[in-house]
Structure 1
């Protein structure tokens, strides 16, 4: 990412601005359109939404007058509008990837079924694809990454959603040669499956984020743990880390103790931590409760010498962990002496914020200019994690499963091998499925429990193709 501003400037001087089509104008897509009006060397040229009025409102909020906006029903109309400097709004997504002027398509709908259709068509049209859709990525990201690679285009998640933040921290720590013990993010809802779209209002009264989460089901998907588990799954498949246990441990830590406690906790049990093994994805719960919503994206590493220990503990910004009984040795970088407790020393790379749509244009620029992904599944032919569907209530025969954040299921991350061996139903395929038999609350659904929604046929076919080409690690 270093020097991306200079590379954007040079690209703009040589080729003109990066021309972007945004599909979906909810909280993320709408904010991205506005941010692209500020970002250097990039333009939101096409905005697609099922609600044309909402698409127009998004452009108007970004400062475009009505006479600069063209409502287009065909590629021909859209090309003509772009030629005279107008912004295009449309309900047909094919306009986004069908226009030769467009360099990059951004998918921001949150619907995994629609995401798969958009992704396949965008890649086939040889356009770069940047997506906010974590749910879709953890289901079929491996196969889409392969198809994009084969087509010579970029498929990537976004910069500064939590998975992208963690991947940047991971890459830095890995490049520096550290042994990585754990990587992950906060889970401010605590992962309690009791929350759903109908009762989450009680939770929202205690949190400031309610002001920006107009969709109760979407917000419930955060506080019932589904989003955190999906995002940690995305991190796992992009790094080769795995969950230690199903759903992860989720220890509670106060914000003021992050730099001290997270490294201590996320080490192996033999070193005084809570993990049965290292090299894992993990989540941390704010001990202060739902009224506190810090963002902790972190990577925990093994510290090898005293100099690393001094810098990574005393300069972490949240406290000093340097053991006074083990002062800095005479030789800078000297190996650590054995700890009086026998425990290894650990450190943390972390960041306390993520700005999602505000910083997402960086991923667009990296894709178009550098042909570089922000976060995407590894290309080594393996999958490391999947997300399973945990029942939130007793499900009856014939009942249709509702959306993420709804009444029926929550997502929990597990090793891909265990999901495959148990024939467990991927979380993103549960939506719209019909129960073949009754299943009690607290159980994990299998393929044998449901009839999948016919609307998901293409998504299911992609998943089956992925299962063959990308077996569990």
Structure 2
């Protein structure tokens, strides 16, 4: 696909609004917009802290004489009379009145994200969703709403779900059979074979034993690596969320409830994510999963990259590709294709342009194929509020599973629907958190989740 050719006869500029601009994704997107004046124009930025938004734009060298802080429809109308105005809002309810073509939603708050997306879609505004926490709950509903309104609902390129969904569409278009697909977890495991020094997110420890398990010798090697590195995180909640999004978009099922999370090197993937009868870890195919990338300090990162395992359809073809350095399994039956990157807001504008100029979404379908469930890790008391915290949007003292829609209980509460809700009853350690346990009165996210579960 050649983007220059694709957009050759289309010169209209998309007026863009962004909500939730102060995170890494929002910042990197706003830094990109001035580089794309032929395609994008920032029309509105919305955040709870107007002054912080102003300082952010100034830091990115936007012209502050264009800034217009607005708190009402009348003020917005006045600002729109001045060419080149950048409207700065605190109230997201005013977004549909800002004459934007596309909303980039990046708050990370499932309830707010979903409501803002719904409102803009109803007003005929395309939506590029960055907040995967919302999409894995309300995505099916929002996708269908967009189709009804003849606009686009998409997840933004630059995060792993969109990148993997796009990559899978390429693989499937080539007629290749998908055995498994997934991503690496966010941070690499780095090991120096000479010194035995292991590092993870700045933490370092000498682990000479790991050197003995550097080369893959079946699933036992994976078990040994996991044991040696037991004091380091081997799973992350955002991974389940992202694979939930991919499952809903593609129909690929979770490989197992908690994923396999092998600690492995990229060149080992085609020997791991294959059926157990061929020496791998999979009990079924056509699945999503996540691995922890193990590499030397002098090797490039795969953190946040995506991969697809395919079945080799012709021995000679894939032998040729193996000779060129591509990752083919030892038995020659499977191969790994991968993209070792995600560039966040730097590449997100492509999703905006595709939506505005071509009417194209990341999705070609979206349904509730998987549910990210939550199980209590301690006793909870009635009345406790299940708040999200931190950059990775976690709920304390619960652990997650990703189940196929068929395997999940009908009343299982999606993890990010739980966020911000109060418990209507006590919950015992080890219990699955269900819809009946939550005070869902007035939750628009719950309404969207319910409507999204009904097939078209």
Identify whether the pair has TM-score above 0.5, normalized to the shorter chain. yes
Instruction: State the partner residue of 2:308.
Output: 299
Take 2:418 and 2:329, find their aligned partners in 1: how far apart are those partners? Answer: 48
Of 11, 33, 43, the match for 1:45: 43
Cα drift, residue 407 of structure 1: 1.9
Say which of 15, 19, 22 aligns to 1:26: 22
Other-structure match for 1:86 = 85
- Contact 2:253 2:369 (8 Å CA) reproduced: yes
User: Alpha-carbon deviation of 1:205?
Assistant: 4.2
Cα–Cα, structure 1 residues 288 and 348, in superposed 2: closer, same or farther, change >3 Å?
closer
CA distance in 1 between counterparts of 2:105 and 2:146 reads: 15
Distance 1:140 1:93 in 2: 18
Task: After TM superposition, give the deviation of residue 265 of structure 1 in Å.
Answer: 0.9
Instruction: Give the structure 2 partner of residue 345 of structure 1.
Output: 333
1:8 shift after superposition: 4.2
The two structures have a TM-score, normalised by structure 1, of 0.80
Q: Which residue of structure 2 lines up, in the alignment, with residue 265 of structure 1?
A: 272
CA distance in 1, matches of 2:44, 2:339: 33
Change beyond 3 A, Cα 1:303–1:249: same
Q: Give me the whole-angstrom Cα distance separating, in 2, the residues matched to 1:286 and 1:314.
A: 23
Could you list the runs of 5+ residues in structure 2 that have no partner in the other structure?
189-198, 205-232
Q: Deviations over 1:108-141 (max 9, x none)?
A: 1001100121111111101101110111111111
Question: Which of residues 298, 306, 313 is equivalent to 2:322?
Answer: 313
* 1:72-97, Cα deviation, whole Å (9 max, x unpaired): 22333334324332211111223322
Distance verdict in 2 for CA 1:312–1:242, change over 3 Å: farther
- Measure, in 2, the Cα distance between the counterparts of 1:188 and 1:89: 32
Deviations 1:250-286 (A, max 9, x none): 11103xxx13x11111111122211111000011112
Per-residue deviation, residues 31-53 of structure 1 (Å, max 9, x unmatched): 21121111242111111111101
SS in 1 for 2:169: helix
Q: Structure 2 vs 1, CA of residues 62 and 78 (structure 1 numbering), >3 Å: closer, same or farther?
A: farther
- What's the CA shift for 1:9? 5.6
Instruction: Tell me the secondary structure at the aligned position of residue 469 of structure 1.
Output: coil
Distance 1:270 1:223, change over 3 A: closer
Instruction: Give the secondary structure class of the aligned counterpart of 2:453.
Output: helix
Q: Which residue is 1:69 aligned to?
A: 67
Mapping 1:233-248, distance limit 5 Å: 233-248=244-259
The answer to whether residue 282 in structure 2 is matched with residue 279 in structure 1 is no
Equivalent residues, number: 408
Contact 2:376–2:427 under 8 Å retained in 1: no
Aligned partner of 1:444 in structure 2 is 432
What is the Cα deviation at residue 443 of structure 1? 4.2
- Give the whole-Å Cα distance in 2 for the aligned partners of 1:74 and 1:289: 55
Q: Distance in 2 between matches of 1:65 and 1:109?
A: 24
SS in 2 for 1:37: helix
Aligned CA distance change for structure 1 residues 415 and 187 (closer, same or farther; 3 Å): same
With over 3 angstroms needed to count, the CA separation of the structure-2 counterparts of 1:316 and 1:344, relative to structure 1, is: closer
User: Does 1:180 find its partner at 2:178?
Assistant: yes
CA contact (8 A) 2:185 2:303 kept: no
User: Residue 189 and residue 358 in structure 1: after superposition, are their counterparts in 2 closer, same or farther (change >3 A)?
Assistant: closer
Looking at structure 2, the residues matched to 414 and 189 of structure 1 have their Cα atoms a distance apart, in angstroms, of: 24
Q: State the secondary structure of the residue aligned to 2:408.
A: helix
Q: Indicate whether 1:460 and 2:446 are aligned.
A: yes
Structure 2 residue 97 is the aligned partner of structure 1 residue 98: yes
Matched residue of 1:22: which SS? Answer: strand
Relative distance call for 1:189 and 1:416 in structure 2 (3 A) is farther
Q: 1:109 to 1:153 in 2, by over 3 A?
A: same
CA-atom RMSD in angstroms: 2.7
Distance in 2 between residues matched to 1:206 and 1:294, nearest whole Å: 17
Indicate conservation of the 8 Å contact 1:395/1:408, yes or no. Answer: no
Gaps of 5+ in 1: 191-201, 208-221, 324-342
Distance change >3 Å, CA 266–CA 432, structure 1 → 2: same
Q: Normalized per residue, which structure has more strand?
A: 2
Q: Check conservation: 2:253, 2:286, Cα contact below 8 A.
A: yes
